[in-house]
Protein backbone atom coordinates (compact mmCIF):
# COMPACT_ATOMS: atom_id res chain seq x y z
CA UNK A 1 0.00 0.00 0.00
CA UNK A 2 2.86 2.33 0.88
CA UNK A 3 4.45 1.71 -2.52
CA UNK A 4 1.12 2.40 -4.21
CA UNK A 5 0.72 5.70 -2.35
CA UNK A 6 4.29 6.71 -3.18
CA UNK A 7 3.83 5.87 -6.85
CA UNK A 8 0.53 7.77 -6.97
CA UNK A 9 2.21 10.82 -5.42
CA UNK A 10 5.07 10.69 -7.94
CA UNK A 11 2.58 10.27 -10.79
CA UNK A 12 0.61 13.35 -9.66
CA UNK A 13 3.83 15.35 -9.33
CA UNK A 14 4.74 14.48 -12.90
CA UNK A 15 1.36 15.79 -14.03
CA UNK A 16 1.16 18.64 -11.54
CA UNK A 17 -0.46 21.16 -13.90
CA UNK A 18 -3.35 18.82 -14.65
CA UNK A 19 -3.52 17.77 -11.00
CA UNK A 20 -3.66 21.39 -9.76
CA UNK A 21 -6.41 22.26 -12.24
CA UNK A 22 -8.40 19.21 -11.14
CA UNK A 23 -7.95 20.13 -7.46
CA UNK A 24 -9.08 23.69 -8.22
CA UNK A 25 -12.19 22.37 -9.96
CA UNK A 26 -13.12 20.24 -6.95
CA UNK A 27 -12.22 23.07 -4.55
CA UNK A 28 -14.45 25.58 -6.35
CA UNK A 29 -17.30 23.08 -6.44
CA UNK A 30 -16.90 22.37 -2.72
CA UNK A 31 -16.70 26.07 -1.88
CA UNK A 32 -19.86 26.81 -3.85
CA UNK A 33 -21.77 23.87 -2.38
CA UNK A 34 -20.82 24.67 1.23
CA UNK A 35 -21.18 28.41 0.60
CA UNK A 36 -24.69 28.04 -0.74
CA UNK A 37 -25.52 25.73 2.16
CA UNK A 38 -24.19 28.27 4.68
CA UNK A 39 -26.07 31.14 3.04
CA UNK A 40 -29.24 29.03 2.98
CA UNK A 41 -29.02 27.94 6.62
CA UNK A 42 -27.88 31.33 7.91
CA UNK A 43 -30.52 33.16 5.86
CA UNK A 44 -33.10 30.87 7.43
CA UNK A 45 -31.59 31.45 10.89
CA UNK A 46 -31.44 35.22 10.33
CA UNK A 47 -35.02 35.14 9.11
CA UNK A 48 -36.09 33.24 12.24
CA UNK A 49 -33.99 35.54 14.45
CA UNK A 50 -35.41 38.78 13.03
CA UNK A 51 -37.34 39.08 16.23
CA UNK A 52 -36.52 37.42 19.52
CA UNK A 53 -37.84 37.56 23.05
CA UNK A 54 -41.24 38.85 21.88
CA UNK A 55 -44.08 36.59 22.97
CA UNK A 56 -46.97 38.15 21.07
CA UNK A 57 -47.49 40.62 18.23
CA UNK A 58 -50.79 42.46 18.35
CA UNK A 59 -52.49 44.20 15.46
CA UNK A 60 -55.87 44.77 13.88
CA UNK A 61 -57.81 41.63 12.93
CA UNK A 62 -56.01 40.00 9.97
CA UNK A 63 -54.00 36.91 8.99
CA UNK A 64 -50.90 36.16 11.02
CA UNK A 65 -48.53 36.34 8.02
CA UNK A 66 -49.83 39.77 7.03
CA UNK A 67 -49.50 41.02 10.61
CA UNK A 68 -45.96 39.65 10.82
CA UNK A 69 -44.97 41.19 7.48
CA UNK A 70 -45.97 44.75 8.21
CA UNK A 71 -45.08 44.83 11.93
CA UNK A 72 -41.66 43.13 11.76
CA UNK A 73 -40.51 43.14 8.12
CA UNK A 74 -42.05 46.56 7.22
CA UNK A 75 -43.72 44.98 4.17
CA UNK A 76 -47.28 45.91 3.21
CA UNK A 77 -49.79 47.85 5.25
CA UNK A 78 -52.08 47.15 8.17
CA UNK A 79 -55.76 46.52 7.55
CA UNK A 80 -56.61 48.84 10.42
CA UNK A 81 -55.10 50.55 13.45
CA UNK A 82 -55.24 49.88 17.17
CA UNK A 83 -56.81 52.42 19.45
CA UNK A 84 -54.28 53.92 21.87
CA UNK A 85 -56.57 53.16 24.80
CA UNK A 86 -56.64 49.48 23.80
CA UNK A 87 -52.83 49.47 23.80
CA UNK A 88 -52.80 50.99 27.28
CA UNK A 89 -55.23 48.33 28.48
CA UNK A 90 -53.02 45.54 27.12
CA UNK A 91 -49.87 47.14 28.53
CA UNK A 92 -51.49 47.25 31.99
CA UNK A 93 -52.49 43.57 31.83
CA UNK A 94 -50.95 41.63 34.70
CA UNK A 95 -49.37 39.08 32.33
CA UNK A 96 -47.53 41.74 30.29
CA UNK A 97 -43.99 42.67 31.33
CA UNK A 98 -43.31 45.20 28.58
CA UNK A 99 -45.06 46.54 25.48
CA UNK A 100 -43.63 48.32 22.44
CA UNK A 101 -46.00 50.46 20.35
CA UNK A 102 -45.34 50.71 16.61
CA UNK A 103 -46.84 53.27 14.27
CA UNK A 104 -46.32 52.90 10.52
CA UNK A 105 -47.46 54.84 7.50
CA UNK A 106 -44.69 57.30 6.61
CA UNK A 107 -41.43 56.86 4.75
CA UNK A 108 -38.14 58.52 3.87
CA UNK A 109 -36.62 57.94 0.42
CA UNK A 110 -37.89 54.36 0.25
CA UNK A 111 -37.25 53.46 3.89
CA UNK A 112 -40.16 52.94 6.28
CA UNK A 113 -40.57 55.34 9.20
CA UNK A 114 -41.38 53.72 12.57
CA UNK A 115 -43.08 55.72 15.26
CA UNK A 116 -42.29 54.25 18.67
CA UNK A 117 -40.99 55.14 22.12
CA UNK A 118 -37.95 54.46 24.33
CA UNK A 119 -39.18 50.94 25.11
CA UNK A 120 -38.29 49.97 21.54
CA UNK A 121 -34.57 50.51 22.16
CA UNK A 122 -34.83 49.00 25.63
CA UNK A 123 -36.76 45.79 24.97
CA UNK A 124 -36.63 44.94 21.24
CA UNK A 125 -34.44 41.87 20.70
CA UNK A 126 -33.19 39.98 17.67
CA UNK A 127 -30.88 37.02 16.98
CA UNK A 128 -29.89 35.24 20.19
CA UNK A 129 -31.85 37.69 22.36
CA UNK A 130 -29.51 40.55 21.42
CA UNK A 131 -30.64 44.07 22.23
CA UNK A 132 -30.33 47.00 19.86
CA UNK A 133 -27.11 48.98 20.23
CA UNK A 134 -26.14 52.46 19.10
CA UNK A 135 -23.14 52.69 16.83
CA UNK A 136 -23.23 56.47 17.14
CA UNK A 137 -25.30 58.98 19.09
CA UNK A 138 -28.29 58.24 21.27
CA UNK A 139 -32.07 58.05 21.31
CA UNK A 140 -34.63 60.86 20.91
CA UNK A 141 -33.82 63.97 22.92
CA UNK A 142 -36.45 66.31 21.49
CA UNK A 143 -39.61 66.09 19.40
CA UNK A 144 -37.98 66.13 15.95
CA UNK A 145 -35.09 63.77 16.61
CA UNK A 146 -34.67 60.55 14.68
CA UNK A 147 -32.66 57.33 15.03
CA UNK A 148 -31.80 55.60 11.76
CA UNK A 149 -30.78 52.04 10.98
CA UNK A 150 -27.29 51.09 9.79
CA UNK A 151 -28.34 50.50 6.18
CA UNK A 152 -30.19 53.83 5.98
CA UNK A 153 -27.07 55.64 7.19
CA UNK A 154 -24.79 53.76 4.79
CA UNK A 155 -26.91 54.05 1.64
CA UNK A 156 -27.96 57.67 2.14
CA UNK A 157 -24.65 58.80 3.65
CA UNK A 158 -26.19 60.24 6.80
CA UNK A 159 -24.25 61.24 9.91
CA UNK A 160 -25.14 62.52 13.34
CA UNK A 161 -26.60 66.02 13.06
CA UNK A 162 -27.88 65.66 9.48
CA UNK A 163 -31.47 66.68 8.78
CA UNK A 164 -33.98 64.53 6.91
CA UNK A 165 -37.48 65.12 5.56
CA UNK A 166 -40.20 62.52 6.10
CA UNK A 167 -42.91 61.90 3.52
CA UNK A 168 -46.51 60.98 4.19
CA UNK A 169 -47.24 57.44 3.02
CA UNK A 170 -44.93 54.93 1.38
CA UNK A 171 -44.50 56.96 -1.82
CA UNK A 172 -41.96 59.74 -1.25
CA UNK A 173 -43.23 62.51 -3.55
CA UNK A 174 -42.69 66.24 -3.25
CA UNK A 175 -46.33 67.03 -2.47
CA UNK A 176 -46.44 64.39 0.29
CA UNK A 177 -43.36 65.57 2.17
CA UNK A 178 -43.43 67.32 5.51
CA UNK A 179 -40.94 69.90 4.20
CA UNK A 180 -41.38 72.42 6.99
CA UNK A 181 -40.62 69.90 9.74
CA UNK A 182 -37.14 68.39 9.26
CA UNK A 183 -35.86 65.73 11.66
CA UNK A 184 -32.33 65.73 13.07
CA UNK A 185 -30.37 62.47 13.17
CA UNK A 186 -29.36 61.92 16.80
CA UNK A 187 -28.55 58.21 16.67
CA UNK A 188 -27.36 55.50 14.27
CA UNK A 189 -27.97 51.89 15.27
CA UNK A 190 -25.37 49.16 14.91
CA UNK A 191 -26.02 46.63 12.10
CA UNK A 192 -28.40 43.82 13.05
CA UNK A 193 -29.03 42.01 9.76
CA UNK A 194 -32.76 42.61 10.29
CA UNK A 195 -35.35 45.10 8.93
CA UNK A 196 -34.30 47.43 11.78
CA UNK A 197 -31.29 48.35 9.63
CA UNK A 198 -33.69 49.69 6.98
CA UNK A 199 -35.88 51.72 9.33
CA UNK A 200 -36.10 55.35 10.34
CA UNK A 201 -37.29 55.68 13.95
CA UNK A 202 -39.09 58.70 15.33
CA UNK A 203 -41.17 59.24 18.45
CA UNK A 204 -44.93 58.64 18.55
CA UNK A 205 -45.40 62.29 19.52
CA UNK A 206 -43.50 63.34 16.39
CA UNK A 207 -45.82 61.21 14.23
CA UNK A 208 -48.78 63.11 15.69
CA UNK A 209 -47.04 66.48 15.35
CA UNK A 210 -46.17 66.23 11.65
CA UNK A 211 -49.76 65.27 10.79
CA UNK A 212 -51.33 68.38 12.30
CA UNK A 213 -53.41 69.85 9.48
CA UNK A 214 -53.29 66.64 7.44
CA UNK A 215 -56.34 64.57 6.65
CA UNK A 216 -56.76 61.50 4.44
CA UNK A 217 -53.20 61.79 3.20
CA UNK A 218 -53.40 65.43 2.15
CA UNK A 219 -52.53 68.69 3.85
CA UNK A 220 -55.80 70.61 4.19
CA UNK A 221 -54.78 73.09 6.81
CA UNK A 222 -51.99 75.17 8.20
CA UNK A 223 -49.22 73.16 9.89
CA UNK A 224 -47.48 75.09 12.68
CA UNK A 225 -43.70 75.33 12.59
CA UNK A 226 -41.36 73.12 14.62
CA UNK A 227 -40.96 75.65 17.45
CA UNK A 228 -44.71 75.93 17.98
CA UNK A 229 -45.23 72.16 17.81
CA UNK A 230 -42.38 71.49 20.24
CA UNK A 231 -44.25 73.44 22.91
CA UNK A 232 -47.29 71.16 22.68
CA UNK A 233 -47.82 67.77 24.34
CA UNK A 234 -48.89 65.15 21.81
CA UNK A 235 -50.41 61.81 22.65
CA UNK A 236 -51.05 59.21 19.93
CA UNK A 237 -54.66 58.38 19.13
CA UNK A 238 -53.90 55.16 17.28
CA UNK A 239 -50.96 52.88 16.58
CA UNK A 240 -50.39 50.17 13.98
CA UNK A 241 -49.18 47.26 16.08
CA UNK A 242 -47.67 46.33 19.42
CA UNK A 243 -45.00 43.88 20.54
CA UNK A 244 -45.59 42.25 23.91
CA UNK A 245 -43.18 40.53 26.29
CA UNK A 246 -44.82 38.48 29.04
CA UNK A 247 -43.82 37.70 32.59
CA UNK A 248 -44.16 33.98 31.87
CA UNK A 249 -44.46 32.10 28.60
CA UNK A 250 -47.09 29.88 30.22
CA UNK A 251 -49.47 32.83 30.01
CA UNK A 252 -49.00 33.23 26.25
CA UNK A 253 -52.00 31.18 25.11
CA UNK A 254 -54.32 32.64 27.72
CA UNK A 255 -53.38 36.21 26.78
CA UNK A 256 -53.64 35.39 23.08
CA UNK A 257 -57.21 34.16 23.58
CA UNK A 258 -58.01 37.29 25.60
CA UNK A 259 -56.70 39.57 22.84
CA UNK A 260 -58.40 37.64 20.03
CA UNK A 261 -61.72 38.15 21.85
CA UNK A 262 -60.92 41.68 23.00
CA UNK A 263 -64.26 43.34 23.75
CA UNK A 264 -63.42 46.94 22.75
CA UNK A 265 -62.24 46.32 19.16
CA UNK A 266 -61.33 43.38 16.87
CA UNK A 267 -57.67 42.50 17.44
CA UNK A 268 -55.35 39.65 16.51
CA UNK A 269 -52.46 38.31 18.56
CA UNK A 270 -49.90 36.05 16.92
CA UNK A 271 -46.87 34.17 18.19
CA UNK A 272 -43.82 35.28 16.11
CA UNK A 273 -42.21 31.81 15.97
CA UNK A 274 -45.28 30.14 14.45
CA UNK A 275 -45.86 32.97 11.98
CA UNK A 276 -42.18 32.96 10.93
CA UNK A 277 -42.32 29.20 10.33
CA UNK A 278 -45.40 29.60 8.15
CA UNK A 279 -43.81 32.47 6.21
CA UNK A 280 -40.56 30.55 5.63
CA UNK A 281 -42.58 27.57 4.39
CA UNK A 282 -44.02 29.83 1.67
CA UNK A 283 -40.48 30.56 0.47
CA UNK A 284 -39.25 26.94 0.49
CA UNK A 285 -39.15 26.89 -3.33
CA UNK A 286 -36.27 29.37 -3.36
CA UNK A 287 -34.46 27.32 -0.72
CA UNK A 288 -34.78 24.15 -2.80
CA UNK A 289 -33.67 25.98 -5.95
CA UNK A 290 -30.44 27.02 -4.21
CA UNK A 291 -29.73 23.42 -3.25
CA UNK A 292 -30.39 22.17 -6.79
CA UNK A 293 -27.98 24.76 -8.22
CA UNK A 294 -25.22 23.81 -5.77
CA UNK A 295 -25.66 20.07 -6.46
CA UNK A 296 -25.32 20.68 -10.20
CA UNK A 297 -22.15 22.66 -9.53
CA UNK A 298 -20.63 19.65 -7.77
CA UNK A 299 -21.73 17.29 -10.54
CA UNK A 300 -20.08 19.60 -13.10
CA UNK A 301 -16.86 19.52 -11.06
CA UNK A 302 -16.83 15.73 -10.84
CA UNK A 303 -17.52 15.39 -14.56
CA UNK A 304 -14.61 17.75 -15.23
CA UNK A 305 -12.35 15.55 -13.11
CA UNK A 306 -13.57 12.42 -14.91
CA UNK A 307 -12.90 14.00 -18.29
CA UNK A 308 -9.40 14.96 -17.18
CA UNK A 309 -8.65 11.43 -15.94
CA UNK A 310 -9.91 9.75 -19.10
CA UNK A 311 -7.90 12.12 -21.26
CA UNK A 312 -4.73 11.58 -19.25
CA UNK A 313 -5.31 7.81 -19.27
CA UNK A 314 -4.92 7.72 -23.02
CA UNK A 315 -1.66 9.64 -22.68
CA UNK A 316 -0.45 7.23 -19.99
CA UNK A 317 -0.88 4.00 -21.99
CA UNK A 318 2.85 3.57 -22.30
CA UNK A 319 3.35 4.29 -18.57
CA UNK A 320 0.79 1.60 -17.74
CA UNK A 321 2.44 -0.86 -20.12
CA UNK A 322 5.85 -0.31 -18.48
CA UNK A 323 4.34 -0.92 -15.06
CA UNK A 324 2.74 -4.12 -16.37
CA UNK A 325 6.07 -5.18 -17.88
CA UNK A 326 7.81 -4.72 -14.50
CA UNK A 327 5.31 -7.06 -12.84
CA UNK A 328 2.39 -4.84 -11.84
CA UNK A 329 -0.92 -6.69 -12.05
CA UNK A 330 -4.05 -5.12 -13.67
CA UNK A 331 -5.68 -4.72 -10.26
CA UNK A 332 -2.63 -2.83 -9.02
CA UNK A 333 -2.87 -0.40 -11.98
CA UNK A 334 -6.57 0.13 -11.28
CA UNK A 335 -5.73 0.75 -7.61
CA UNK A 336 -3.16 3.37 -8.62
CA UNK A 337 -5.80 5.36 -10.50
CA UNK A 338 -8.23 4.94 -7.59
CA UNK A 339 -5.68 6.33 -5.12
CA UNK A 340 -4.80 9.23 -7.43
CA UNK A 341 -8.44 10.22 -7.89
CA UNK A 342 -9.23 9.90 -4.20
CA UNK A 343 -6.19 12.04 -3.35
CA UNK A 344 -7.25 14.72 -5.84
CA UNK A 345 -10.82 14.74 -4.51
CA UNK A 346 -9.75 14.88 -0.86
CA UNK A 347 -7.24 17.66 -1.58
CA UNK A 348 -9.91 19.58 -3.49
CA UNK A 349 -12.37 19.29 -0.59
CA UNK A 350 -9.78 20.49 1.94
CA UNK A 351 -8.78 23.38 -0.35
CA UNK A 352 -12.44 24.28 -0.84
CA UNK A 353 -13.03 24.35 2.91
CA UNK A 354 -9.97 26.53 3.49
CA UNK A 355 -11.08 28.93 0.75
CA UNK A 356 -14.60 29.13 2.16
CA UNK A 357 -13.59 29.76 5.77
CA UNK A 358 -10.86 32.20 4.79
CA UNK A 359 -13.42 34.11 2.74
CA UNK A 360 -15.92 34.09 5.61
CA UNK A 361 -13.29 35.28 8.07
CA UNK A 362 -12.20 38.16 5.81
CA UNK A 363 -15.65 39.23 4.58
CA UNK A 364 -17.71 38.61 7.72
CA UNK A 365 -18.08 42.29 8.69
CA UNK A 366 -18.42 43.45 5.09
CA UNK A 367 -21.29 41.03 4.40
CA UNK A 368 -23.13 42.22 7.52
CA UNK A 369 -22.63 45.92 6.78
CA UNK A 370 -23.33 45.71 3.04
CA UNK A 371 -26.01 43.05 2.71
CA UNK A 372 -27.17 42.59 6.29
CA UNK A 373 -26.17 38.93 5.97
CA UNK A 374 -24.79 37.46 9.18
CA UNK A 375 -22.47 34.54 8.36
CA UNK A 376 -20.53 33.55 11.48
CA UNK A 377 -17.26 31.60 11.19
CA UNK A 378 -18.09 28.39 12.97
CA UNK A 379 -17.24 24.70 12.65
CA UNK A 380 -19.01 22.77 9.86
CA UNK A 381 -22.35 21.30 10.87
CA UNK A 382 -23.05 17.57 10.70
CA UNK A 383 -24.98 18.16 7.48
CA UNK A 384 -21.98 19.94 5.92
CA UNK A 385 -19.70 17.05 6.95
CA UNK A 386 -22.21 14.74 5.28
CA UNK A 387 -22.08 16.82 2.09
CA UNK A 388 -18.28 16.67 2.03
CA UNK A 389 -18.42 12.92 2.61
CA UNK A 390 -20.81 12.59 -0.32
CA UNK A 391 -18.42 14.57 -2.55
CA UNK A 392 -15.56 12.26 -1.54
CA UNK A 393 -17.62 9.13 -2.21
CA UNK A 394 -18.79 10.54 -5.54
CA UNK A 395 -15.14 11.22 -6.47
CA UNK A 396 -14.15 7.68 -5.48
CA UNK A 397 -16.98 6.24 -7.53
CA UNK A 398 -15.97 8.42 -10.46
CA UNK A 399 -12.48 6.93 -10.30
CA UNK A 400 -13.89 3.47 -11.00
CA UNK A 401 -14.51 4.37 -14.65
CA UNK A 402 -10.85 5.13 -15.59
CA UNK A 403 -9.68 2.37 -13.19
CA UNK A 404 -11.85 -0.23 -14.92
CA UNK A 405 -10.64 0.96 -18.30
CA UNK A 406 -7.00 0.75 -17.19
CA UNK A 407 -7.69 -2.73 -15.80
CA UNK A 408 -8.79 -3.90 -19.24
CA UNK A 409 -5.78 -2.47 -21.09
CA UNK A 410 -3.39 -5.21 -22.13
CA UNK A 411 0.40 -5.03 -22.05
CA UNK A 412 0.55 -5.16 -25.88
CA UNK A 413 -1.91 -2.25 -26.12
CA UNK A 414 0.48 0.08 -24.35
CA UNK A 415 3.44 -1.00 -26.49
CA UNK A 416 1.58 -0.52 -29.75
CA UNK A 417 2.07 2.81 -31.50
CA UNK A 418 -1.30 4.19 -32.63
CA UNK A 419 -1.39 6.26 -35.79
pLDDT at 41: 79
Residue 275 confidence class, pLDDT cut points 50, 70, 90: confident
Report d(CA 41, CA 203) in Å as an integer.
36
DSSP state of 160: T
Cα Dmax for the chain: 103
Determine the pLDDT at residue 410.
Answer: 56
Q: What is the predicted pLDDT for the residue at 174?
A: 67
DSSP strand E in 14-110: where? Answer: 56-60, 82-83, 96-108
The pLDDT of residue 239:
92
Residue 152: half-sphere exposure toward Cβ, Cα within 13 Å: 30
State residue 371's pLDDT score: 67
Angle formed by the axes of helices 16-48 and 284-315, nearest 10°: 170
| pLDDT over 60 at 414, yes or no | no
Q: What is the mean pLDDT of the chain?
A: 82
Burial label for 401, CB within 10 Å (0-12, 13-18, 19+), is middle
For the segment 41-63, the average pLDDT, to the nearest whole number, is: 83
Which of the listed ranges 7-16, 124-133, 163-172, 238-247 does the model predict with the highest average pLDDT? 238-247
Report the predicted TM-score, pTM, of the whole model to 2 decimal places: 0.68
Task: Assign residue 403 a region (left: φ > 0; alpha: ψ between -120 and 50; beta: otherwise).
Answer: alpha
Nearest-10 crossing angle of helices 2-14, 330-371: 60
Q: Above 70 in pLDDT, residue 329?
A: yes
Query: Is-contact 132 194, C-beta < 8 A?
Result: no
Report which secondary-structure segment, H or E, holds 413: helix 411-415
Phi and psi torsions of 94, nearest 5°: -65, -20
DSSP string, 130-144: EEP-EEEE-S--STT
How far out from the chain centre does Cα 183 lie?
31
Mean pLDDT of 49-57: 86
Count Cβ atoms below 10 Å from residue 271 Cβ, excluding itself: 18
The pLDDT of residue 32: 82
Domain boundaries of the chain, sorted by first residue: 1-48+283-412, 56-270
Concatenated DSSP letters for 290-342? HHHHHHHHHHHHHHHHHHHHHHHHHHTHHHHHHHHHTT--HHHHHHHHHHHHH
Distance in angstroms (rounded) separating the CA atoms of residues 170 and 183: 17
Amino acid sequence: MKALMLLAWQSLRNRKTTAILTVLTIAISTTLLLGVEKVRTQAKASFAHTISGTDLIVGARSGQVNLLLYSVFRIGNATNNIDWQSFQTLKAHKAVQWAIPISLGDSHRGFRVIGTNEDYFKYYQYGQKQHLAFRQGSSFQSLFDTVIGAEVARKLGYHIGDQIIIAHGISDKKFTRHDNLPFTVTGILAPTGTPVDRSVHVSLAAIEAIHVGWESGANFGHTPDAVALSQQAFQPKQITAALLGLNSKIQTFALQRYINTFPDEPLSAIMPGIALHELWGMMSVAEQALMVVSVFVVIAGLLGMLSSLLTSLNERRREMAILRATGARPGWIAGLLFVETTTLTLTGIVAGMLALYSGLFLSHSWLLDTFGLYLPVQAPSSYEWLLMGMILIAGMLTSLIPALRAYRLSLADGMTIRI
